[in-house]
Structure 1
Amino acid sequence: MSEAEVAPEGSVVAKDLFKEILEQQQEVIEQEHNEGEVVGEEVKKKRPKSPGKRRYISVTDRTNSALMLLVLRRLKAAEEHSFQPDVKENIREAVVLLKRIIEENEDMFPGVLRPKS
């Protein structure tokens, strides 16, 4: 005989009740876990890259950046000390071209130009 047969009509068998409660709790836990994964993925997608996070800059890139800064500084000094208008104009054009090259290759020359605010 099973317990369901022994119990009078209208009564509840505790064993069956606990099984149902346990199944419901497991379903709720699984749903929360699945929703947590979805929410976690959404949070990861929404998070912007932190500005404080530093990216790796290779030695070659740092060397290139230092050399470009040095060239730009030397051109500035030459432009300031020159009295010949055609030399000044050529230096200005060279600076504009170098800045354009740096902008196009920011990965190769990181941190040379200041970001525009």
Structure 2
Amino acid sequence: MKKILTIALAAACSFTACDIERLPYDKYSADKITEDKQASLDILLNGCYAQLKGWSDVMHRVGEYAGDNMMIRGSSTDAFYTFISYQHTPSNYRLNTFWNNSYKVISQASDLMKLVE
């Protein structure tokens, strides 16, 4: 009798469930954005700025290394060395990353402007 009661209690506990739907704290759903557009603008704009923050070092190097503000001695295996030596190649992964990230930010800013209109 004790085993049956234990099994029945375990079965009853397994059929109960919690119905909590939690959205991730670091994401905004499309429904939440369209509900309150004004409050969402700051969050979306911060997302655009966050994209810039992650690769600002690369953005700085692309401009400075190709100019005459820097001098390098010797040689380097870094992909940015081609900027200093004026030997840009389409396969330079740092340059590709720079442009890919640039277009991501442009796309996000464009989507944000569409939301404002």
- TM-score bracket, shorter-length normalisation: under 0.3
TM-score w.r.t. the length of structure 2 is 0.26
